[in-house]
Amino acid sequence: MDKTILQVEDLSTSFHTERGWLKAIDGVSFHVYEGEILGIVGESGCGKSVTSQSVMRLYEEKRTTRYEGKVILSGRNLLELPYRSMQHIRGSEISMIFQDALSSLNPVLKIGDQIMEPLRIHQNLKRAEARERGVEMLRLVGIPAPEKRMDQYPHELSGGMRQRVMIAIALACRPKLLIADEPTTALDVTIQAQIMDLIVSLNRQLNMGVILITHDLAVVAQTCQRVAVMYLGQIVEEAGVPELFDRPLHPYTKGLLSSIPRMDGDSSQPLHVIAGNVPLLHQMPAGCRFAPRCPCATEKCRSEMPPLREVKGKQKVRCWMAFGEEEKHV
Amino acid sequence: MQTYSLERAELKALRRELVREQRIVNIRRFFRNGLSVVGLVIVLLMVLIAIFAPVITGALGVDPYTSLGRDMRLQPPSRAHPFGTDNVNRDVFARVIYGTRISMTVGFLVGLLSALLGTAIGMYATINSVWDNILMRICDGLKAIPNILLAITLMAVLGANMQNVIISLTIVSIPGVARIARSQALLVREQTYVEAMRGAGASRRRIMWRHILPNILSPIIVQMTFTFATAIISEASLSFLGAGIPIPAPSWGGMLKEARSYVYNGWWMVVFPAIFTGLSVLSFNLFGDGLRDLIDPLSGR
Amino acid sequence: MKKYILKRFLTLVPTIFIVSVVVFLLVHLTPGDPAAMMLGDDATMEDIAALHAKLGLDDPWLVQYVRWVGRCLHGDFGTSTAVIGQKVSDMVFSHFRPTLCLAIYSQLITVLIAIPTGVLAAKNRGKIADFIASVLSLLGISLPSFMMGLGLVLLIAVHFRWLPAAGYKDLFTDGLLPFLRYMTLPALSLGFIHSAYMMRMTKASMLEVLGSDYIKMARSKGVKEHAIIGKHAFRNALLTIITVIGQGFISALAGAAVVEKLFTIPGIGTLLVDSIEKRDYQVIQAITLLIAMLNVVINLVIDLIYGLCDPRIRLD
């Protein structure tokens, strides 16, 4: 029996800008099971990062940010918690790792100070105990000579090592859920693979849920059990990884899949490119958000927004055409 | 699935549309920022006062140099003399109004001259590394002497008069402008279209004046408004020390120097020139802030 | 670190050279004959020619420059042309203490006002603290120090009669309380301008740091807000603030001329202004050189402190 650890329902986040309130993500719903890796994919600017940071409520300026919906972790709606309790959840129950480890580690603090910090805050450990646990964590993420690293500064480490350090910091308190926001984008290809392997093995070892945010479908195929595809602040398709790659339903997903270069493909053929650009947030189309770029959009697509609906087993999609096909099949 | 791409013309139109929209947003932002509008209004007001000084004081029948007679010494503000009279029986209002002329002239000329010379120096510094080293080391050397001190020393050497005030304040302001011009020119030069121009065989001089110069003008103009404000302060400070514009010319700093001895029995001699100085400097700073936000929305606050 | 210090020292050489040339030329371009001025109106042509020869005024500029630099390096800045027989170095030295005390006191006030307000303004963006900080910083940038001083004199010395309007009491010979009584207004007027700038810079660098990824990371670790500000953000912002403090100290030394004149404090600023009236160019030259050199040295010290605070520089 799969146990749900995180349930996001109808989450919307708006930011106040000079053009008024803009919804960066609109009605996002998904859930994460214990011990699974959920991928969230999409182009840059589609709201992947906003989604993950909203889950942790990292946008705290009340005057400029507005959350709607629910983020339920162990029966509590995080969006309604007082700030203090939220601080207690961050780093102990949910942790996050970011794209660029160099800029995400404080340059003037030693690695040791940064890894001991969550341990001392959340588990009230003494300095010596926290240090011991910190060394243990560094060893767990595969850093050689961890005692020595504790007294070094972030800039003294290589890119891959820094990313490992960040993972060690995030996992120090053994959270139930890890959010990894493009964890390998800033790294070399060989190191990318090492870091992904590390995340997958830690996911199994510690039985924690992982939300992997990426724009790389190849990474999703290798590591995730389920995947949600985002476009312009909405989830347009959600499915198990095999189903999605076998039978993508949304035209956007199809486009994404056919733009992956393939080893066995005909290299003389140009890569597929999805036409057009992502529209700006304040020029949102009225109907389906993908309609302006969609090769098979109809009048209905342009005027009416499709809901995210379950079509085949556990596959969900937000597309009138896909609903139509499904009905034909029935 | 079909793939198509936007036509060139379409792309161009889209870009133009975006640029136009950004410009409207910028202008709206400038006006929504009430403070910069207040700054602009006061700047314009000061310029008008400077131009029409004789008309304004003429309407009240006062002038900045004539003594009003011994019984008019240190009179507090009244209807006939709204800012009172000073220790040598002159009308303070007329002197303050004429003082606007001095401050605006000094500010404008120092701003303009330092912008012209500083830009030229900054641009020439980008020609090659030898020039760059020579010019920038000289600028560093000049900057090592604090501005007000350099201005005082220059005035001591040149002699106190308005022309020399403008010359020394211009010399003091040039290194700052030159630095900005240089760094901006280097930034622009790295951009692809300049590379393309060079590839297409455009001469270095043509690239410098036709392509780089127009692109570095905005920050130079912003710097000009700040130089304007600093020049007003520096002129007032120099005149206050007796190293600026000599008496009896009605410079605000000079008036404050005289007022220093009368703080106990002639507060109006202090307050009115001070308010005008502070207000004009403030308004140029506010206006400059607004301009900078307009050009570069990410900088500043 | 050694390499860093050495590199930093080498960049000083051209700056010091240019400064010395500028200061040397400043005085040598002066219209008028210093020998004639020293001897007064009733000197004969022979007297003047003799003094010329004695002072080496007929030598080429390059020779004069080298000789001047050599003497400056020995601490000999020549003799005053206004006060006969007085050594310039003695004059400057005896006027230096009031200026130094004033500059240090004003910097203390500056730091105490500016850094807390700047941090608060950055933390509570768009709230009252931020608004007050903006107003204060605008005022500070727009009011020349002598106007600030005149305003304080009018309000606190003339209207309320709390503190004296002018005068000087020495910290070491007169004691702390008289010093504070007499120097608080000058120090406030000198420090206020710079505190506005420091406040702006503190706020700006705090905002920049608070927007950085490692602050986001710290928040995602559950670090409490006061630790985010104090431990994570302020330490990084401090790097900028140290630079601003150094600049402030220099601008206090340089700006002292105006404030000392206003409050009749016998410091090097007053000496400088008096020397302009007396056309005592040797003194003007010495003071300009001294402050420019102090500026260079303080900037060097700041860079070294910077190197100590920022671990990233240590390896270079």
Tokens of C303: 């860079």
Indicate the residue of B145, B260, B281 with minimum beta-carbon distance to C19: B145
Cα separation, B21 vs B18, whole angstroms: 5
Residue with the bigger pLDDT between B11 and A210: it is A210
C9 and C70 within one domain = yes
Task: Provide the chain A residues 266-295 that lie in CB contact (below 8 A) with chain C.
Answer: none
Task: Provide the chain A residues 286-305 that lie in CB contact (below 8 A) with chain B.
Answer: 295
| pLDDT of res. B299 | 44
pLDDT in tens, B221-264: 989 999 999 999 999 999 999 888 988 889 999 999 988 888 88
pLDDT greater than 50 at residue B301: no
Contact at CB, C221 and A121, closer than 8 angstroms: yes
Indicate the residue of B145, B152, B271 with minimum beta-carbon distance to C292: B145
Q: What is the DSSP letter of A90?
A: B
- The nearest alpha carbon in chain B to C297 belongs to B144
pLDDT greater than 70 at residue A329: no
C194 and C172 within one domain = yes
| pLDDT of res. A261 | 67
Range in B195-204, C138-147, C162-171 with the lowest mean pLDDT: B195-204
Indicate the residue of A96, A109, A153 with minimum beta-carbon distance to C220: A96
Contact at CB, C273 and B285, closer than 8 angstroms: no
Chains that touch C (3 or more CB pairs under 8 A): A, B
- The nearest alpha carbon in chain A to C315 belongs to A156
| pLDDT of res. B166 | 96
pLDDT in tens, A130-181: 999 999 999 988 899 999 999 999 988 988 899 999 999 999 999 999 999 9
Domain assignment present for residue C116? The answer is yes
Contact at CB, B1 and A255, closer than 8 angstroms: yes
| pLDDT of res. B189 | 81
Q: Which of B36, B132, B149 to mutate to test the interface with C (most CBs of C within 10 A)?
A: B149
Q: Which residues of chain B are within 8 Å of residue A295 when distances are taken between CB atoms?
A: 1-2
Assess A271–B contact: CB distance below 8 Å, yes or no.
Answer: no
Q: Which residues of chain B are within 8 Å of residue C27 when distances are taken between CB atoms?
A: 157
- Give the mean model confidence (pLDDT) for residues A231-243: 91
C65 and C171 within one domain = no
The answer to whether the beta carbons of residues A186 and A99 sit under 8 Å apart is: yes
C281 and C195 within one domain = yes
Angle at A187 between CA A183 and CA A188, to 5 degrees: 140
Contact at CB, C144 and B285, closer than 8 angstroms: no
| pLDDT of res. A40 | 94
Residue with the bigger pLDDT between A251 and B301: it is A251
pTM beyond cutoff 0.90: no
Domain assignment present for residue C151? The answer is yes
Quickly tell me which residue has 């109006």 as its tokens: B268
B29 CA: distance to closest CA in chain A (Å): 8
Assess B5–A contact: CB distance below 8 Å, yes or no.
Answer: yes
- The nearest alpha carbon in chain B to A274 belongs to B3
The answer to whether the beta carbons of residues B244 and B157 sit under 8 Å apart is: no
Neighbours of B132 (CB within 10 A): 16
Tokens of C99: 């200026």
Contact at CB, A275 and B29, closer than 8 angstroms: no
Contact at CB, B25 and A258, closer than 8 angstroms: no
pLDDT greater than 80 at residue C85: no
Contact at CB, B1 and A258, closer than 8 angstroms: yes
Q: Which of C185, C247, C276 to mutate to test the interface with B (most CBs of B within 10 A)?
A: C276
Query: How would you class C275 by CB atoms within 10 Å of its CB: exposed for 0-12, middle for 13-18, buried for 19 or more?
Result: buried
Domain assignment present for residue C167? The answer is yes
Q: Which residues of chain C are within 8 Å of residue B277 when distances are taken between CB atoms?
A: 144, 147
Domain assignment present for residue C316? The answer is no
Domain assignment present for residue C136? The answer is yes
| pLDDT of res. C34 | 67
Quickly tell me which residue has 């093995």 as its tokens: A201
pLDDT greater than 90 at residue B210: no
In total, the C-beta contacts within 8 angstroms joining chain A to chain B are 18
C226 and C121 within one domain = yes
Cα separation, C115 vs C198, whole angstroms: 7
The domain tally of chain C equals 2
Query: How far out from the chain centre does Cα C301 lie?
Result: 14
Indicate the residue of C214, C236, C309 with minimum beta-carbon distance to A104: C214
Residue C171 confidence class, pLDDT cut points 50, 70, 90: confident
User: Domain range spanning residue C247?
Assistant: 95-309
- Give the mean model confidence (pLDDT) for residues A36-55: 89
pLDDT greater than 60 at residue A330: no
Contact at CB, B263 and C158, closer than 8 angstroms: yes
| pLDDT of res. C51 | 76
Q: Which residues of chain B are within 8 Å of residue C253 when distances are taken between CB atoms?
A: 146
The strand pair at A65-73 and A4-17 is best described as antiparallel
- The nearest alpha carbon in chain B to A258 belongs to B1
The answer to whether the Cα torsion of A78, A80, A83, A88 is positive or negative is negative
Assess A272–B contact: CB distance below 8 Å, yes or no.
Answer: yes
| pLDDT of res. A128 | 92
pLDDT greater than 70 at residue B77: yes
Range in A217-226, C23-32, C216-225, C287-296 with the lowest mean pLDDT: C23-32
The answer to whether the beta carbons of residues C105 and C183 sit under 8 Å apart is: yes
Tokens of B263: 């703080």
Give the residue from C71, C88, C105 where a domain finishes.
C88
Assess A154–B contact: CB distance below 8 Å, yes or no.
Answer: no
Q: What is the 3-state secondary structure (H, E, C) of chain B?
A: CCCCCCCHHHHHHHHHHHHHHHHHHHHHHHHHCHHHHHHHHHHHHHHHHHHCHHHHHHHHCCCCCCCCCHHHCCCCCCCCCCCCECCCCCEHHHHHHHHHHHHHHHHHHHHHHHHHHHHHHHHHHCCCHHHHHHHHHHHHHHHHCCHHHHHHHHHHHHCCCHHHHHHHHHHHHHHHHHHHHHHHHHHHHCCHHHHHHHHCCCCHHHHHHHHHHHHHHHHHHHHHHHHHHHHHHHHHHHHHHCCCCCCCCCCHHHHHHHHHHHCCCCHHHHHHHHHHHHHHHHHHHHHHHHHHHHHCCCCCC
pLDDT greater than 70 at residue A271: no
C80 and C104 within one domain = no
Q: What is the mean pLDDT of chain A?
A: 86
B4 CA: distance to closest CA in chain C (Å): 38
| pLDDT of res. B291 | 85
| pLDDT of res. C166 | 82
pLDDT greater than 50 at residue C280: yes
| pLDDT of res. B4 | 41
Contact at CB, C232 and A91, closer than 8 angstroms: no
Q: What is the mean pLDDT of chain C?
A: 84
C162 and C82 within one domain = no
Residue B266 confidence class, pLDDT cut points 50, 70, 90: confident
| pLDDT of res. B20 | 73
Percent share of chain A, pLDDT over 70: 90
Cα separation, A189 vs C217, whole angstroms: 24
Residue with the bigger pLDDT between A150 and B188: it is A150
pLDDT greater than 70 at residue B3: no
The answer to whether the beta carbons of residues C19 and C307 sit under 8 Å apart is: no
Tokens of B198: 């060079």
Q: Which residues of chain B are within 8 Å of residue C19 when distances are taken between CB atoms?
A: 141, 144-145
Contact at CB, C235 and A109, closer than 8 angstroms: yes
Assess B29–A contact: CB distance below 8 Å, yes or no.
Answer: yes
C158 and C185 within one domain = yes
C100 and C74 within one domain = no
Contact at CB, C276 and B152, closer than 8 angstroms: yes
pLDDT greater than 60 at residue B297: no
- Give the mean model confidence (pLDDT) for residues C287-299: 89
> What is the separation, in whole angstroms, between the first and last Cα of chain C?
6
Task: Provide the chain A residues 223-262 that lie in CB contact (below 8 A) with chain B.
Answer: 251, 254-255, 258
Q: Which residues of chain C are within 8 Å of residue B42 when distances are taken between CB atoms?
A: none
Give the residue from C28, C58, C88 where a domain finishes.
C88
| pLDDT of res. C103 | 92
Contact at CB, C29 and B152, closer than 8 angstroms: no
Domain assignment present for residue C192? The answer is yes
Residue C316 confidence class, pLDDT cut points 50, 70, 90: very low
Nearest to C236 by CA among C200, C270, C211: C211
B290 CA: distance to closest CA in chain C (Å): 13
Contact at CB, C311 and A87, closer than 8 angstroms: no
The strand pair at A65-73 and A76-77 is best described as antiparallel
Instruction: Report CA-CA distances (Å) from A308 to A5, A230, A256, A290, A321.
Output: 22, 12, 19, 14, 13
Contact at CB, B146 and C250, closer than 8 angstroms: yes
The ipTM assigned to this model is 0.84
Indicate the residue of A18, A258, A275 with minimum beta-carbon distance to B4: A275
pLDDT greater than 90 at residue C37: no
C178 and C213 within one domain = yes
A288 CA: distance to closest CA in chain B (Å): 18
- Give the mean model confidence (pLDDT) for residues C256-267: 89
Give the residue from C88, C106, C124 where a domain finishes.
C88
Query: How far out from the chain centre does Cα B283 lie?
Result: 11
Indicate the residue of B3, B25, B29 with minimum beta-carbon distance to A273: B3
C150 and C23 within one domain = no
Assess B157–A contact: CB distance below 8 Å, yes or no.
Answer: no
CATH number of the structural domain spanning residue C138: 1.10.3720.10
Contact at CB, C223 and A117, closer than 8 angstroms: yes
Q: What is the DSSP letter of A282?
A: G
Contact at CB, A295 and B25, closer than 8 angstroms: no
pLDDT in tens, B133-183: 888 888 888 888 888 889 998 898 888 899 999 999 999 999 999 999 998
C43 and C102 within one domain = no
pLDDT in tens, B114-141: 999 999 999 888 887 888 888 888 888 8
Counting Cα atoms < 13 Å in the Cβ hemisphere of A178 gives: 28
| pLDDT of res. C140 | 81
- Give the mean model confidence (pLDDT) for residues C140-160: 85
Indicate the residue of B256, B263, B285 with minimum beta-carbon distance to C142: B285
Q: Which of A54, A55, A104, A105 to mutate to test the interface with C (most CBs of C within 10 A)?
A: A104
Any alpha helices (H) in chain A, and if so which ranges? 48-55, 83-89, 101-104, 111-123, 127-140, 146-150, 159-171, 189-206, 217-223, 241-246, 251-258, 299-303, 320-329
A131 CA: distance to closest CA in chain C (Å): 17
| pLDDT of res. C282 | 83
Residue C315 confidence class, pLDDT cut points 50, 70, 90: very low
Q: What are phi and psi of C136, to 5 degrees?
A: -60, -40
Domain assignment present for residue C102? The answer is yes
Range B276-279 contact pairs with CB under 8 angstroms and sequence separation of 24 or more:
B276/B96, B276/B99, B276/B100, B276/B103, B276/B252, B277/B103, B277/B232, B277/B233, B277/B236, B277/B252, B277/B253, B277/C144, B277/C147, B278/C139, B278/C142, B278/C143, B278/C147, B279/B42, B279/B46
Domain assignment present for residue C315? The answer is no
Percent share of chain C, pLDDT over 70: 95
